[in-house]
């Protein structure tokens, strides 16, 4: 795998998201089938949206009058954030301006990147170091054909 020559500009589609825990467990946070993208612009902006492929509609039909359980299911099956990015060596830093998860807003999400032989892109990060939940998250993306 190579970490050189990353030109992230464009749209990338999510292929997989796996979390490997230090105790050997493996987890697919939103299941095996995902829908989503990460978009990088030449001007240094980025946006990311990832969702479970199968998300049930709200029974109420309304966004604002949905039950708390429906809202929780929707939140737990999607991740969305955006902001600016910069690249240094093999790390791409997402400087978060807006996020569905409010704790990320105003912060930086650092991801190690690898450009794989097949042209896919792997972004990985260590999470919750020093806790029983310590793990490595790996997300694999392929460049989208955008017309």
29-39 confidence digits (pLDDT tens): 999 999 999 99
Q: How high does pLDDT run on average in the chain? A: 93
Domain ranges of the chain: 10-143
pLDDT tens, residue by residue, 74-129:
999 999 999 999 999 999 999 999 999 999 999 999 999 998 999 899 999 999 99
pLDDT digits (tens, 9 = 90+) for 123-137: 999 999 999 999 999
In order, the DSSP letters of 84-125 are EEEEETTEEEEEEEEESSGGGTTSEEEEEEEE-TTS-EEEEE
Token code pair at residue 15: 């292929």
Q: Domain 10-143 is of which CATH architecture?
A: Beta Barrel (2.40)
């Amino acid at each position: 795998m190579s970490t050189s020559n990353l030109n992230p500009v464009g749209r990338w589609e999510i292929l997989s998201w796996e979390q490997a825990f230090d105790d050997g467990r493996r987890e697919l946070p939103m299941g095996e089938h995902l829908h989503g993208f990460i978009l990088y612009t030449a001007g240094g902006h980025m946006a990311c949206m990832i969702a479970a492929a199968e998300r049930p509609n709200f029974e109420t039909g309304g966004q604002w009058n949905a039950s708390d359980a429906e809202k929780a299911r929707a939140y737990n099956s999607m991740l969305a954030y955006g902001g600016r990015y910069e690249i240094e060596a093999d790390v791409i830093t997402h400087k978060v301006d807006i996020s569905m998860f409010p704790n990320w807003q105003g912060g930086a999400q650092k991801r190690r990147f690898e450009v794989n032989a097949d042209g896919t892109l792997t972004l990985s990060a260590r999470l919750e170091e020093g806790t029983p939940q310590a793990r490595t998250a790996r997300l694999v993306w392929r460049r989208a054909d955008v017309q």
